[in-house]
Homo-oligomer: A and B are copies of this chain.
Amino acid sequence: MKDGIVYIYSDKAAAGRNEPKDLPYPSLEHFVDDMNFLLALIAQGPVKTYSHRRLKFLSYKFQVHEMLNEMEEIKELKNNPHRDFYNCRKVDTHIHAAACMNQKHLLRFIKKSYRVDADRVVYDAKGEKLTLKQLFQKLNLHPYDLTVDSLDVHAGRQTFQRFDKFNAKYNPVGASELRDLYLKTENTINGEYFATIIKEVGSDLEDAKYQHAEPRLSIYGRSAEEWAKLANWFNRHRVYSPNMKWMIQVPRIYDVFRSRNFLPHFGKMLENIFVPVFEATVNPQAHKELSVFLRHITGFDSVDDESKHSGHMFSTKSPKPEQWTSAKNPSYTYYVYYMYANILVLNNLRRQRGMNTFLFRPHCGEAGAITHLLAAFMTADNISHGLNLKKSPVLQYLYFLAQIPIAMSPLSNNSLFLEYAKNPLLDFHQKGLMVSLSTDDPMQFHYTKEPLMEEYAIAAQVFKLSTCDMCEIARNSVLQCGLSHEEKAKFLGENYQEEGPHGNDVRKTNVAQIRMAYRYETWCYELNLIAEGLKAE
């Protein structure tokens, strides 16, 4: 690794001559140049006015379309045999593994584990081995008395604008011991409980048949062993479900590790995150478990509280990762660039070797500065949240033009950053941005046994979505997720990669062709306007 980017050499001699393989990625200078161009663009008055007016036009145009064609869309769907909202595929495009069960499920699991495993050694408190019974005694609890209230994992009014309080909700009964035992992959019982809970969620999805989920597991970058341990957990417990695709989330908490002296510099964190994956890619035989695990991974996510301000402005003069030794956290953009660049190199390498590649799907625009959305625009395959596109007409218009998918979670936002009725989901959907619905954290936000259906139902009720709207959102979720080409072709129709109505198989998606034609024409019209404008110059 050099300057935060992994380089691959064909052999040791080549390394001595400093001739890395040709695995292209955008250089820092190139990235910063583009970034500065975009920064100037989104601040330019006329561009703002133009974007604002085009977006407004898109919004009115959709409403005119609906007034004129709503009944026709409904008629088309009524005549579409054997397919309705319930049996069209939907993917929970943004969900964290550690909160993928609902609160009642977790509670039931804790009670069950106590009935079965009370005398099992499950916890190691600084050398002292504790059985499940002893652990609960130490916490002054009896599982029989536990309720959803005392479990206290649900977000409430207290968490609004308080990401810190929200993070604390990951601790059942406020006890980090229980989080370690039930919601972690590394512990005395090798993450067995956590694996079992996730498999139960997976089997619920299989029963529901038409629902999929993409849970995120964490790689922190604190040590180089994390990957091996996580892969071991995954393989040991066979944490697998045909209705689940896996993602890796990297929390942006270098500052925490640095201040405790776990890491010498930011470069080391990147090394811990990426080098093991490169090694398993170059030499799968030597890293069997990890290379099996990697086959199930479909992408990387970057996560943390975006409202924390870093104070750092990314530029070519920023310290290189190996020089970033201060305890200050790098900016969102800095994180995103180095993750993106390494993923790109990695994907090029894996593609050469016929292996699966990874998408980059960071959390972005949930809160914080508008620059996050700009960095993700340049790098991300799709993003989670995107709320702050509300605040920048230029970026919003760019996301529309580029059709960058956005996995939105209005129930999560409602508890953390934005009241439900003010959520831009409906507005974005009407304008034609490519939005999907996702749950984020069922444990903290949802009440029913089917969190994804709850998410859709509430959106349908509050925003008065039609069946066509809901099926379009469901289709978007399949398009933007990490399912394989074969699966997507099966769920959406063979031509799903083509634009417009031709790419839509209404028998599978239940999205009216009238709607698809409207979307395609509208999008082409906007692109054409810009093309014409460029010619005229």
A contact set with B: CB distance below 8 Å: 70, 74, 77-87, 104, 144-145, 147-150, 152, 156-157, 411, 414, 420-421, 445-450, 453-454, 456-458, 460-462, 464, 466-467, 510
Shortest A457–chain B CB gap in Å is 4
- B447 in contact with A456 (CB, 8 Å): yes
Minimum CB–CB distance for A310 against chain B, Å? 31
Residues of chain B with a CB closer than 8 A to A157's CB = 70, 464, 466
Assess A453 versus B464: contact at CB under 8 Å? Given A74-B149, A84-B148, A147-B81.
Answer: no
CA distance A145 to B80 in the complex (A): 8
Q: What chain B residues lie within 8 Å of A461 (beta carbons)?
A: 411, 414, 420, 445, 458
What copy number does this chain have within its complex?
Answer: 2
Residue of B nearest to A150 (CB): B78
With A149-B510, A460-B447 as contacts: A86 and B104 at CB distance below 8 Å: yes
Main secondary structure of the interface of A (DSSP, over half): helix
Q: Which residues of B contact A148 (CB under 8 A)?
A: 84-86, 467
Name 8 extra pairs, CB < 8 A, besides A82-B145, A414-B464, A448-B450: A70-B157, A78-B152, A82-B144, A85-B149, A149-B510, A157-B464, A411-B461, A454-B454
A384 to B464: give the CA distance in the assembly, Å: 23
CB neighbours (8 Å) of A104 from chain B are 86
Whole-angstrom CA separation of A58 from B365 in the bound complex: 39
> How far, in angstroms, from A491 to B460 measured CA to CA in the complex?
34
* Residues of chain B within 8 A of A449, CB atoms compared: 449-450
Ranked nearest first, the 6 interchain pairs of A and B with the lowest CB-CB distance are A81-B145, A84-B147, A447-B457, A84-B148, A77-B149, A78-B150
A458 touches which of B85, B144, B450, B457 (Cβ 8 Å): B457
Is the beta-carbon distance between A80 and B149 smaller than 8 angstroms? yes
Chain B positions within 8 Å of A86 at CB level: 104, 148
Q: How far is the CB of A139 from chain B (nearest CB, A)?
A: 14
